[in-house]
Amino acid sequence: MPLNSTEKVLYILKILRKPPYSLSLTEIAEKLEITKSGALKILNIMGANAFVIRDVKTKRYTLGPALLRLGNVYKELKGIVEIARPILKHLTEVTEETSYITIWEHDEAFIILKEDGPRGVLYKLEGNQVYGDEIPINCGASSKLLAAYQDPEFIEGLVNSLELTRFGPNTITNKKALLQEYEKIRKNQYAISDGEYLPGLVGIAVPIIDKNRDVWCSVSISGPKNRLNPSEPGEILELLRQSAHQIEFRLRFRS
């Protein structure tokens, strides 16, 4: 079915927030399956409103500053960044590992806040991911956890519609195994990633439960396997749960 004008704008925004983060007019027109003149008309309107910008030298389009402004407003509306930042900083100071806040929107998980450990940035997210990029729901503690807490019927349909890409040696690419992993996560109330993104990289995540008992965000820690033992996460789990409870408490009483 051909996309309407609004759907074309949304599609352009979606494809430009993924690697390589810039596309030519020809590439955008091909992805939209429309003429270059039709694509240019849409891009000109988006550019006039700062939703995209065109590099004069490369003639390629990237997301514009209007998205950053909207993102800042969105984060403030969610309230999670303001509340979580000092708690995340304390968590990183205590563990000396990198900590994250990840949120779920519709059918994707996104990192919105990160506190790097004092030993330096452990790794770059796959494809040099930046805030606002989705994390695969078959790879990573926080994304698996958030997917596990969504409506089971919805998630099963989502999983069955996706091609599960392998990133690390232990990435879950079998759909049945992934759905079983979600069941395990719901039962244990935490998620672990061991070598799913990169060899030797471990992640541990716990849910942040809002006042409606919904789970749309999580707090997590990542680090090398020689410092984070995936088979004995007890101490880290306790610290993560304490951090989650603090965030939950403050969110519930936020006006």
Q: Say which CATH number the domain at 127 has.
A: 3.30.450.40
Q: Are residues 42 and 97 in the same domain?
A: no
Collect all residues with Cβ–Cβ distance below 8 Å to 67 and sequence separation of at least 6: 13, 51
Give CA–CA dist 126/19, Å, rounded.
10
Indicate the pTM of the whole model. 0.74
Domain-terminating residue out of 27, 42, 67: 67
Give CA–CA dist 65/71, Å, rounded.
10
Element (H, E) at 44: helix 36-48
| Cβ atoms within 10 Å of 61's Cβ, excluding its own | 24
pLDDT at residue 25 is higher than 90: yes
Sign of CA dihedral 21, 23, 27, 32: positive
92-95: long-range contacts, CB 8 A cutoff, minimum separation 24: 92/116, 92/117, 92/118, 93/118, 94/239, 95/221, 95/223, 95/236, 95/239
DSSP 12-35: HHHHHTSTT--EEHHHHHHHHTS-
Q: Are residues 40 and 166 in the same domain?
A: no
194 Ramachandran zone, left/alpha/beta (phi>0; psi -120 to 50):
beta
Q: Are residues 221 and 244 in the same domain?
A: yes
Q: Are residues 60 and 108 in the same domain?
A: no
Q: Are residues 202 and 84 in the same domain?
A: yes
Q: How confident is the model at residue 242 (pLDDT cuts 50, 70, 90)?
A: very high
Residues 114, 98: contact at Cβ < 8 Å? yes
pLDDT at residue 144 is higher than 50: yes
| Cβ atoms within 10 Å of 47's Cβ, excluding its own | 15
Which domain range does residue 12 map to?
5-67
205-222: per-residue pLDDT in tens? 999 998 888 999 999 999
Residues 190, 145: contact at Cβ < 8 Å? yes
Q: Are residues 124 and 189 in the same domain?
A: yes
The confidence score (pLDDT) of residue 82 equals: 84
Q: Are residues 154 and 132 in the same domain?
A: yes
Q: Are residues 21 and 86 in the same domain?
A: no
- Asked whether residue 15 is domain-assigned, the answer is yes
Q: Are residues 244 and 169 in the same domain?
A: yes
Domain with 32 in it: what CATH number? Answer: 1.10.10.10
Q: Are residues 239 and 172 in the same domain?
A: yes
53-69: per-residue pLDDT in tens? 999 899 999 998 888 76
Closest CA relative to residue 144, chosen from 112, 97, 186, 92: 186
**Mean pLDDT of all residues in 8-29:** 91
